[in-house]
Amino acid sequence: MKLKNTLGLAIGSLIAATSFGALAQGQGAVEGELFYQKQYNDSVKHVEDGFNPGASIGYFLTDDVSINAKWDRNNYTRSNDGTGSQKLRGDNFGLNAQYHFNNAGDMFRPYVEGGVKYGTLTNVAADGHSGRDQSTYLTAGGGAKLYFAENFFVRAGVEADYKLDNGKWNYMPVVGVGVNFGGGNKPAPAPVEAPAPAPEPVAEAPAPEVVRVQLDVKFDFDKSVVKPNSLSDVRNLADFMKQYPQTTTVVEGHTDSVGPDAYNQKLSQRRANAVKEVLVKDGIAPNRVNSIGYGKTRPIADNKTEAGRAANRRVEAEVEATAK
């Protein structure tokens, strides 16, 4: 079937690109797209299926919801059924809302959509005359976007138009490529509290003994889950902070150099947050732990080797206290 073949090509193109890392923008972002759709035309009789090029511009009201203005150009040929093979031209103008799943910043974001559309079609024969068909449609659809670079994406989906004039449907598999810019979801580094000034030493008293615990947790590639073999190290840090309840710590997340800067920034923050969650579950008050991601800006090993990249995929923390 033509519909299955077109859908297979669209979905196959989408899956083939999933090896690239990306950052999808969120609230306040603007998306522009060029698309191409195969229209299976059932709402007007004796009209062949067509290929419609088009463009859209959208604005994200939230991280998940965007409003989009769309235009596409009808490109049909009337079937030869005794009325002649006439060229049919027209335009469609639509407004719809898209709801995106997953999170702003994820590479892969499925969506559903719905809206309204106004369309015209020239040289349509009806009731003994030939003229312009003007129609209003309700629209619905779904698909997925793949953000293969920080500001670029590809889309594949299926849309359906319900013609209010006669209660019939048109169906369109669609593929597109677009650009995304703006948005306010890029994370800012969390503030680091300045350490309290050390008390002035008393000349007569011996210098206090300083004790210190350091933490170094390694992560798998593109993961932010604390591995079981690292949990005991994190709990040792939690036990130390329980012994010295006046202490605080800064949990610092890092990545290797693979992938876009913005994507690695978010990944390093998720790693730092994951270690903080383990500390909180082990009884440490959240206000005693500050988590911050540095992305790939602070390597400790050569990112040109696998061993070096593994060493750079880490979370570090340190707690210092004065022994009693």
Q: What is the pLDDT of residue 20?
A: 38
The residues facing 119 across adjacent strands are: 92, 135
Q: What is the pLDDT of residue 17?
A: 38
CA–CA dist 53, 35 (Å, integer): 6
Is the pTM of the predicted complex or chain greater than 0.85?
no
C-alpha to C-alpha distances, 27 to 49, 62, 209, nearest whole angstrom: 37, 4, 51
Domain residue extents for the chain: 2-182, 210-322
Residues 115, 98: contact at Cβ < 8 Å? Answer: no
pLDDT category, 150, cuts 50, 70, 90? confident
pLDDT category, 122, cuts 50, 70, 90? confident
Residues 159, 40: contact at Cβ < 8 Å? Answer: no
CA–CA dist 71, 57 (Å, integer): 9
Q: What is the pLDDT of residue 42?
A: 74
What digits encode the pLDDT tens for the residues 289-304? Answer: 999 999 999 999 999 9
Contacts of 291 (CB under 8 A, 6+ apart): 190, 250, 251, 253, 269, 272, 273, 275, 276
Q: What CATH number is given for 210-322 in this structure?
A: 3.30.1330.60
CA–CA dist 104, 102 (Å, integer): 7
Q: What CATH number is given for 2-182 in this structure?
A: 2.40.160.20
Distance of CA 260 to the CA centre of its chain: 13
Q: What is the pLDDT of residue 21?
A: 38
Average pLDDT over residues 155-184: 88
Residues 296, 256: contact at Cβ < 8 Å? Answer: yes
Q: What is the pLDDT of residue 22?
A: 39
What digits encode the pLDDT tens for the residues 73-121? Answer: 987 766 555 555 667 778 999 999 999 998 887 888 999 999 999 988 7
